[in-house]
Structure 1
Amino acid sequence: MEYVHINPAKLNGKINVPSSKSICHRAIICASLGDGVSNLENISFSRDIYATCNAVENLGVKIYRGKSNLTVKGNPRLTVKNPYINCGQSGSTLRFLVPIAAAIDEKIIFTGGGKLIDRPLDVYYDIFDNQKIYYKNFNGKLPLILKGKLKPGDYEVRGDISSQFITGLLFVLPILDGDSSVNLTTALESRPYVDITLDVLKKFGIKVCEDGLKRYVVRGRQKYESSDYRVEGDFSQAAFWLVMGALGNGIVCCGLKKDSLQGDRMIVDILKKMGVKVKWTGNSLIAMPSDRIYGSTIDASQCPDLVPVLAALASVSCGTTEIKNAGRLRIKESDRLKAISSELNKIGGHVLEKEDGLLIRGRERLAGGEVDSWDDHRIAMSLASVSSRCLNPMTIKGAECVKKSYPGFWKDFMILGGNIL
């Protein structure tokens, strides 16, 4: 659907939260590198997850898809069946698989669409230059042509651009024919994503030693083991429903893990700080109707994906909210700082865009009206999350972009009482 027209309504009910997209990517890649069959359960199929599945199949991996599961017959030798790997708009697919492809020593061509074409890969290009691995791009953009043989060694990598580069290296270094290390030259932002990587690697038999906060030591010649693995619920997707529950009549989010390593579990503490009534019941997280929600200061360095929905919530809260350390959001599927501030302001919000964050003065109600998703799934879902606080209907242009991460979002929205005209 190109547009959704939402009549303001308070949502209520129970929802099974989709599985973590971040963990799904990692489990599929680890299973693909294993020598045997892995069974992955609780898979939520989105465009990004399909992109990773298709990519590893091009590298000789066999995948059998069920309704909500995958059976993966790994191929640790990685044979190129199709050199053209289309990553769609998935940054994880691209950045996780580029270093793996660089270890195969066959010509591989990475393509993609949307903003992914422009997403920086300079961290890898520096490594390829140092190791004299052939690559070619088009003025720094995709497609990327790659052919080389990645060597073990000591890798110097910035930690403040994207944790995806560190994860990509941690996938491939264990299977090289010598020991390696990843040495961070800056502080690591989005550290929880690397923690997730280490946890999934461990489940598939790979050992990585974390030496302090800025060094990872990786023994070479390791072998990935096949594994049966169940993916937990996604806190970044739950965040939309938690906000809608707080602004509505309460929503129960099922399938979450209380002690999860996901950085976006911070949504619980942030919401509580803002006055939202949130509580755990087993593996379910409940957001109850909250009459008074207050502005707050939010450090987004470890939870960047939460910024759009928190900005939306802040726009209908009491007082002022400052979101800081969010500059990396400018190179996501959209410039998310500009996108969410522009669209909230269109419907009556008061959001000031700063270089690396947002300053938001809350209002009791928004006016409603037409907004644009910027072809960004998180922008579309964040705008929908405050539709109940609009005086008039909200029309979201480009609503189909939710298929990137959550194809069933609009269906679930209506099941919980959302009124799509």
Structure 2
Amino acid sequence: MHTVTPKHIGGTIPAIPAKAHAHRALIAAALATTPSTILLSRTSKDIDATMASLRALGSAITYTDNIIHVHPSSAPSVGGILPHESGTTLRLLLPVSASICNRVEVDAKGRLPDRPLEPLLGEMKSHGVTFSQDKPPFTMSGKLQAGHYKMVGNVSSQFFSGLLLAAPQMGESTIESVGTLQSRDYVTLTITTMQDFGVKVTTTPATDTTNETFTIANDTHFTGRDNYQIEGDWSNAAIWLVAAALTGNSITITGMNKDSVQADRRIMQIVEDAGSTLTWNGMDLTVSGKATKPLNVDLEQMPDLLPVLSALACGIVGESSFTKGARLRLKESDRLAAVAQLVTDLGGSVRMDGDDLYITGTGSLKGGQVDCVNDHRLVMAGALAALISENPVILKDSEAITKSYPDFFDDWNLLGGEAHVI
């Protein structure tokens, strides 16, 4: 549990590595024909879960002095996936592990066993894999076979990314999205990372009569990379953009990629539309000026931004809207309900209408205690809310932040904040 004192923050902070990028690079490196070195300035529980799982699948992985050394998998007949609470680790590695192992033991913690795995499991079953039961813990048996995979696109883009990463081990395969592929940017990140490691994915856009497809040719293989740089994380940089927009104090985030394909890069446009100013100097982004215009955010392609943006909405006078948030109910918590409860507990005004959320901001909150329901994004939202609160904000389950940003409170205090364990 932490308490965060109402105190404005400002200054310069380095970006943490992009978790989504790191997962994909680690998997590609572990499947490559030659070793790799990956530059990663910090790790987290989710990234650690992917490294642990890749070790259980036969790769030799060490992390010293901000460098990950990856010696590719020896393709054991038996392997394991140890995702802890990382949905990305589980969903990417289910098809990947089945493409190299005859049997895989899979476990999971927290809410992860109850998060949806269909239609991925159904497609894997129809391509040679059997499951001892349909949710973790389970045992997968049988090698995943090449062929045509077809799934609806509105459940999880990670199902598509996992099959894409598995395809080079299987042979020529096509993955088809039925309907709009939500969080499409994460699939683009997967494709870009695969290309970085030597595998080309051919994309055929949807038409009026056909669906979007992704094809990986036969006899393609990942190739190791030296000193491969993981880019800065837009999901976590969003914290500092929102902090600057809430108070008007200038914050500079170093090591960011303006042209990133990460979905949460959209935070730039949201903050700018709300009235703040963004200035680039190479790979350093400075945010200044208080946001004053209510937000109107479509969450379909960037659901993870809702918690931090809810704090920003409370700091802007007027009603902000967040629409198409259905998939937020399937995260580490029911994030729609959890965000609404957090705003209410801190004295804000919020209403839910189906999968849409509306927050009427007054520019300030009362503060108080909130339950972060073991969700790292709720910890971030609660800390940001303290910037506009009359009283300290007490964060229950604040240790959940280690899932993605273990040094968050250290960085908060480095920028002049006051967050302490209680």
Give 1:105 deviation, angstroms.
4.5
Show the counterpart of 2:132. 136
With over 3 angstroms needed to count, the CA separation of the structure-2 counterparts of 1:145 and 1:43, relative to structure 1, is: farther
Deviations 1:152-175 (A, max 9, x none): 111111111110000000001122
The alignment partner of 1:117 has SS state of: helix
Equivalent pair of 2:127/2:147 in contact (CA under 8 Å): no
**44-53 or 281-290, which deviates more:** 281-290
Show the counterpart of 2:63. 65
Q: For the residues of structure 2 that align with 1:36 and 1:43, how far apart are their CA atoms?
A: 23
**Residue type at the aligned position of 1:232:** E
Give 1:405 deviation, angstroms.
0.3
The alignment partner of 1:389 has SS state of: coil
Show the counterpart of 1:234. 233
Deviations 1:89-122 (A, max 9, x none): 1011100110022223422111111111111111
Q: For the residues of structure 2 that align with 1:21 and 1:94, how far apart are their CA atoms?
A: 14
Give 1:69 deviation, angstroms.
1.7
Q: For the residues of structure 2 that align with 1:362 and 1:279, how far apart are their CA atoms?
A: 26
Give 1:289 deviation, angstroms.
3.5
Show the counterpart of 1:252. 252
The alignment partner of 1:141 has SS state of: coil
Q: For the residues of structure 2 that align with 1:351 and 1:316, how far apart are their CA atoms?
A: 13
Equivalent pair of 1:175/1:220 in contact (CA under 8 Å): no
Q: For the residues of structure 2 that align with 1:20 and 1:264, how far apart are their CA atoms?
A: 11
Asked if 1:392 corresponds to 2:384, the answer is no
Give the alignment of 1:196-275 within 5 angstroms: 196-213=189-206, 214-228=212-226, 229-248=228-247, 249-275=249-275
Equivalent pair of 1:315/1:351 in contact (CA under 8 Å): no
Deviations 1:298-336 (A, max 9, x none): 111111111111111101212111111111011011111
**Residue type at the aligned position of 1:151:** Q
Give 1:350 deviation, angstroms.
0.8
In structure 2, list runs of 5 or more residues that go unmatched: 207-211
The alignment partner of 1:239 has SS state of: helix
Q: For the residues of structure 2 that align with 1:361 and 1:227, how far apart are their CA atoms?
A: 49
The alignment partner of 1:15 has SS state of: strand
Give 1:394 deviation, angstroms.
0.7
Among candidates 77, 87, 100, match of residue 96 of structure 2? 100
Give the alignment of 1:299-314 within 5 angstroms: 299-314=298-313
Deviations 1:20-47 (A, max 9, x none): 0000000000000011111101342100
The alignment partner of 1:256 has SS state of: coil
Give 1:132 deviation, angstroms.
4.7
Show the counterpart of 1:18. 16
Q: TM-score, normalised by structure 2?
A: 0.95
Asked if 1:176 corresponds to 2:170, the answer is yes
Deviations 1:271-307 (A, max 9, x none): 11111222222211111131x5221211111111111
Give 1:148 deviation, angstroms.
1.0
**Residue type at the aligned position of 1:276:** S
Give 1:182 deviation, angstroms.
0.7
Q: For the residues of structure 1 that align with 2:322 and 2:236, how far apart are their CA atoms?
A: 19
In structure 1, list runs of 5 or more residues that go unmatched: none
Among candidates 53, 56, 59, match of residue 54 of structure 2? 56
The alignment partner of 1:183 has SS state of: strand
Q: For the residues of structure 2 that align with 1:67 and 1:401, how far apart are their CA atoms?
A: 25
Equivalent pair of 1:58/1:80 in contact (CA under 8 Å): no
**Residue type at the aligned position of 1:95:** R
Show the counterpart of 1:150. 144
Q: For the residues of structure 2 that align with 1:389 and 1:245, how far apart are their CA atoms?
A: 12
The alignment partner of 2:111 has SS state of: helix
Aligned length: 413
The alignment partner of 1:396 has SS state of: strand
Asked if 1:125 corresponds to 2:121, the answer is yes
Show the counterpart of 1:282. 282
Show the counterpart of 2:209. none
Show the counterpart of 2:362. 363
Give 1:84 deviation, angstroms.
3.8
Show the counterpart of 2:373. 374
Q: For the residues of structure 2 that align with 1:340 and 1:26, how far apart are their CA atoms?
A: 29
Give 1:129 deviation, angstroms.
3.2
Q: TM-score, normalised by structure 1?
A: 0.95
The alignment partner of 1:65 has SS state of: strand
**Residue type at the aligned position of 2:250:** G
Among candidates 148, 154, 163, match of residue 157 of structure 2? 163
Asked if 1:193 corresponds to 2:189, the answer is no
Deviations 1:232-265 (A, max 9, x none): 1001101101111222322111110111111111
Q: For the residues of structure 2 that align with 1:376 and 1:161, how far apart are their CA atoms?
A: 20
